[in-house]
Amino acid sequence: MTAWLLAPSPVHARKMFSASSRVCALGTGRQLPVQVPSAPQRAARRTRSRKRLSCSTETHVHLVGFGLAGAALAFYLCERASQSQRLTISVVDSAGAGCAGGATHASAGILHPFTPRGRKIWLGDEGLICMREILGVISEKDSSPVARRSGLLRLATTDREAADYAAAATQMYPQQLYWDAARSQLYIPDAWVVDAPAYVRAIRRYLERNHSDKLTLWETREVRSVADECRRLQSLAEASCAAVTFLVIAAGASSRLLIPSLPLTWCGGHNLVFRSQDLTWPSPEFAAASTLTAGFSSTSAPGSVPLIGHGSYLVPTPDGTRVIGGATKEYGMTATEVLKAQSRSPSEQMARATSALRQPLSALLGRYANLAERYAAGESPLSNTGILRDPLEALYGVRALPPRSALGAVPLLGEIQHEALSMLASTSIPENTRVLYFTGLGSRGLIHHGIIGRLAADAVLRGESVVSLGSVASPTVLSSVRRAAAAAVAAS
């Protein structure tokens, strides 16, 4: 039986587990008492879990958080459970399951498999395949689209970027990237724009329509601690007579408030939303004809191809009605700052977003105008140059950043060991209760949520256990995860 756990490095993984007894009640910083179960307690627990195993083969998964991570996991659990497998799922989300609070709510919706330097994101290709697979399954004929293949234009603003993009397009991925040296722009044809909150809502509707037998509960409630949730889960599990119950923490940035030892850092961010008729830019033009750009340069409507450059972006929504401009990055936030930032009023978010984003977004448009050589230097392609002062709304979310590794940002997926779990919950937890976490999607939730959600669902459905800490996220484990991902998408 294979088993794996994803963490950025063995050192982090060890820290996560050895530090898991340092548990604070949410938002208070108060240390909870640690209680290690005694030998008789452990024996009683084993008897209880054996009893349950004999009464049913049901697996119950209790998801805390229904953003991109929770939605992908729920989707793949339902889709990949065998007919004979008895699976039930309950979901609790403080914003209302399917309402996509958290970072998903603030996402600009950019999806493609390349890093800002034109390299491939780890599991980027597999992630894109999974995302397209989910979209193919959940798409609803009569609703407005939640995603669109838009292509994307990345403007090189330094010599180093230009060199990176030229190398990526001409030497590394000539079939997937187009470099226009005359205009210093990199074109990515297979890039998508996704309305992330609408996408999560569409997953929820799909699950309700097609898997209502598996979904036992959607709850709008804030989970305050893993301990509380374990206790609730025990009664849920008793009621359903589940043989194995999984509590999955997929609460985005708040995951670290619930499991303080997770090696996440917080990075708040604003986006501004504009009406598309108020803000547009010309379609890209390319210096030479290319199969990669055919179909886009001539047929795409103005403002329909997203622009990135100067650390900013302008992204049309899939239905073409709005444009999202962003984003700010507030690195190094503390827990108190996260909670405070999330409770700011809409007018305060708007004031902060507008003051931080007006200049960089104008610079991006100005830069594009000059590169496109359609306008005299300095002349803006904005249809209404005053519009940056008049956005529709400001979006705010906190990214949960995983530590950097040699492979870049690798999301966090793993299981809390049973002994550590009892200490975390400061109570004895039945052995058939397992606590997983799926978070750390950072700034790339769209590319990673599907593939990691799928791998996590497979592990849950097969009842796989977690590897010994020594090999956690070693290059061997990561390449075996990659092989598993490739095999999974190949089998689709």
Ligand X SMILES: Cc1cc2nc3c(=O)[nH]c(=O)nc-3n(C[C@H](O)[C@H](O)[C@H](O)COP(=O)(O)OP(=O)(O)OC[C@H]3O[C@@H](n4cnc5c(N)ncnc54)[C@H](O)[C@@H]3O)c2cc1C
Residue ranges binding ligand X (CB under 6 A) = 64-70, 92-95, 100-104, 106-111, 222-223, 250-254, 269, 271, 326-327, 397, 399, 439, 441-447
CB of 329 to ligand X, least distance (A): 8
CB of 446 to ligand X, least distance (A): 3
Helix axis angle, 68-80 to 445-462, nearest 10°: 40
Residues 364/313, Cβ–Cβ less than 8 Å:
yes
Q: What angle do CA 308, 318, 399 make, to 5 degrees?
A: 55
Nearer to ligand X, 107 or 245 (CB): 107
Nearer to ligand X, 81 or 441 (CB): 441
CB of 283 to ligand X, least distance (A): 21
Residue 279, classed as helix, strand or coil, is coil
CB of 401 to ligand X, least distance (A): 9
Which class for 245: exposed (0-12), middle (13-18), buried (19 or more C-beta within 10 A)?
buried
The C-alpha atoms of residue 346 and residue 20 are separated, in whole angstroms, by: 36
Nearer to ligand X, 124 or 430 (CB): 124
Residues 123/489, Cβ–Cβ less than 8 Å:
no
Determine how β-strand 322-326 pairs with β-strand 265-275.
Answer: antiparallel
Which class for 313: exposed (0-12), middle (13-18), buried (19 or more C-beta within 10 A)?
buried
CB of 197 to ligand X, least distance (A): 9
Nearer to ligand X, 313 or 368 (CB): 313
184 dihedral zone (left: phi>0; alpha: psi -120 to 50; beta): left
Nearer to ligand X, 69 or 236 (CB): 69
Nearer to ligand X, 118 or 268 (CB): 268
CB of 71 to ligand X, least distance (A): 7
Return the closest-CA partner of residue 450 out of 93, 174, 35, 71.
71
Nearer to ligand X, 201 or 399 (CB): 399
296: tokens are 């886009």
The C-alpha atoms of residue 251 and residue 72 are separated, in whole angstroms, by: 13
CB of 95 to ligand X, least distance (A): 4
CB of 64 to ligand X, least distance (A): 5
CB of 99 to ligand X, least distance (A): 7
Nearer to ligand X, 93 or 125 (CB): 93
Match 């407005």 to its residue by tokens. 144
Nearer to ligand X, 391 or 445 (CB): 445
Length of the chain: 492
Residues 25/224, Cβ–Cβ less than 8 Å:
yes
| Amino acid code (one letter) for 63 | L
Q: How far is the first Cα of the chain from the last one, in angstroms, to the nearest whole number?
A: 22
Nearer to ligand X, 165 or 438 (CB): 438
CB of 28 to ligand X, least distance (A): 14
Q: DSSP strand E in 102-184: where?
A: 110-111, 147-149, 152-155, 178-180
Nearer to ligand X, 204 or 418 (CB): 204
Residues 397/103, Cβ–Cβ less than 8 Å:
yes
Residue 378, classed as helix, strand or coil, is coil
Q: What angle do CA 127, 75, 106 make, to 5 degrees?
A: 65
CB of 175 to ligand X, least distance (A): 23
DSSP single-letter state for residue 172: I
Nearer to ligand X, 13 or 327 (CB): 327
The C-alpha atoms of residue 28 and residue 99 are separated, in whole angstroms, by: 27
Residue 252's contacts (CB-CB under 8 Å, 6 or more residues apart) are 65, 67, 69, 102, 103, 104, 398, 400, 439, 441
CB of 444 to ligand X, least distance (A): 5
